[in-house]
Structure 1
Amino acid sequence: MSIDLKKALNEKGLNATYEGNPAKLLPISENVLSEYKSAADAKTGKHLVAGDMIVTWRGENGGFRGEVLDPMADNDLKIMIRKSDGEDMAVPAGDMGDAIVRLSALVKDDKQNRAELTETNRAAEKAHRAAVARNEIDEDEQFTPVKPRFADGAFAKLPDLVDCMKSRLSVEYGNEFTGAAGKSLAALNELKVGDATRHNLTDAELAKAKEAHALRAEIAKLEANAAEAPQAEREHGTERVEAALEDLRYPGEGINQAQMAAIMPNQDLMNLAFQPFTTLPPHEIQARRLGPRDANTVLQDLRRFEDKEWGTTAVEKCRKLLKSRMPGYDFSAKVFSRDGADMLMVADQAGAVLYAWDSETRVNDFDTAPELVSFSEADVPSDEELEALRAQLRDMRYDANGDIDFDFDIGGDDEDPVLEG
């Protein structure tokens, strides 16, 4: 074993169990390869790249054994997290994506637990001092604070595991042995790992950061005197969409069971993907799965209805949102508008789907910026700062310092009413 690889295992390795044996797990990230220069060329049986994992354990004869693992393979692996009582919590890691989601939740729980204990221990220590002053307990009796659930630094080595998994997922799209199902699995893993690790904040902190961001955006809009576009009224939207879809031809050929399973939508992904297109929730959007013959027929029939202005822009905004969550994922799409219905044809490795919704619910100018924000502790306002932003926005809504228009129609009629009688 190279000196650099041994050093990396000692400094960056995670406590684990492999096939029931106490082990050390080293996720190979770009950071690890940069810091431990010769580790990649260690005699491990393969040239190490970001996305590999090294596991070592003590064999039956007392000697150390090692293996190079693939995070996307099925491994008998658990990651051990040290608790404050000296015991370890085992987190199953046969599915590394699920393990990272679980570990990320524990990181946030630990942060919340420590914040709560700070207040609890402060109050308990104050009560202890008061009891000593009242001679209720001996003054030599020391106050013992409640310890957090996990040991200090228990999660310090997780960033390299996350980066290792992201590197591995990025190359799964080109894995010729796992095909369309592998690409779909890579995309969904990128989504769940990215969402789990995007904000290292508790739910309460994230809620404060998002509210402060929204308040500042609203304040900026009022300062710029930006007028809100009126919401379109909807009439018989569902009927229009269904009629437009029924008018299309579907030979109904070419969809196999693997495609059917791969196209099953992820709710979080759907919520994100359709924001640049429609104000409707995803469950109100009509969808039709298309085989190759179906797709060619629909493209032929809708070609002259393609929206190359708004539609192309909306598709690129959707791509930007999805790439922020799933960097390796891509798709092809076209938008059509016909008979009061907007239609989006999307195709990726799993096949093609045609989505349709009422054109009156179209989002004309979606701003991707808020969805691309990654919040940190610096973005979490204090309670006083948050209340100050709320008060500022309340006051601005009563403000009348801008240009005032006294010449506007409040009745909505173009002509004076005719009085009869």
Structure 2
Amino acid sequence: MSSTDARDRAHAALKAAQDKIDLLAGIRPFLIDLSLRENPVGSRVGQTIDEKMAILPRLREFGFKNISLGTLDYAIPDELEVDDDFMRKLRDTGADLRGCFAFTAIGLVDADGRFTPDPSQVKLRDYGVPNTVHEIYLSPFGMAKMYDLDTLKRSIPASVQWLIDNVKGENGGPPRIFINIVDGCDAFAETPDDTFDVLELIGSLPIEGITMEDDRGTYMPFQVGAYVAAARAILPERMKILVHLHAGGGFENASMIEALLNGADGAWGGLPKQAAVIGHASLGELLANLARVKNREIDGMFRMKELLPLATSLQVLDENGPVPDDLPVLGNNAYRLSLSSFRQIDERFMDLPPERIGGQYRYRICPVVSDAEPVRGRLAEVTGEAPGTYDDAVVDTMIRLMRRDLRAGVRIDYDEPANLIQLHARATNPPAPLSTAMQVTHEH
């Protein structure tokens, strides 16, 4: 192969990547926010009805046009949940429910052709919620003990028709319906032809689209992308495809990008990270990553400079505790510089400085790597003095002392304010002997 041919192939590879960036930059994502359900499901304490009443307007103010109020297809349907109380209160107070959804389960048609709506469908009607994400299972494991494939095929059209006939949609029209394939990735992987048959059936119905999940977070990004592409090939162009991806294997945000690149229109999920399992490809992270590629649509859709404070405040509420420090994008350490060269700059390709999503840079001390900027910046945070107060010679000595302490076997958390102040005192005054250094609070 000639050098010219090799370079042509290399340039083609780079262009293919840039083409994907350009696609992501032009997407107008369709999102259904689930911060009122997805996040509290996996939290330690959940949400009260009063907290839900306070959260809903905040989600609208941020820019969400489609919001799920909760789930009605839960186990033991006669034992009501906070979601039931919340929806009934919204109904009884005459709240504006445009763009509001609730999750429901499919009703079933028996062998004699009799249809029985699921209790969640009846609740949807009675609570006055105008739209629904209507859930089915499609893999052999998912359908087991619920229904077989033939029953599912009979039931999907009948269940959709019941919703159209019985649920009052927005402005008096029909309800907006998405069908969520809870085990969608399993279905594509295990029984693709049966899945295609059901998708063709769904494609003939008067609904808005489908959603599909990787509900355990076990599928690789390239697999999720392939399943979305397969669904896109089967469904009519008018139908939207949304995804919901859990964080079981750590693939979730990469899988979200693959889904968008392969024809997905958007996603549903909570704004913060926590979810029913150990996290999910949250809408907060998705919006941040679209901002990273300079997406042209999201600034007109959402109050992007409120993203970080809103998402973190909701997670603190749900968890009744702090956001994990090392959570990407939304965590406390995501924008605490430990080394000046880690700073993200708006003008640099693919960087996302915190100001873009409503945050700001802060600093943390890591003895092995921290240079002058984080040392000076953390001092300013701790003391309230201006960073310029601390001259170069003192800061340089602080860095040297941290290295000497570690070489001597002394392990100190210099990020802790009291330890940092003592380090600064040591650097300002004649060096203390090692025995004095070891009197600082430290961990062996």
User: Shorter-normalised TM-score: what interval?
Assistant: under 0.3
TM-score of the superposed pair, with normalisation by structure 2: 0.24
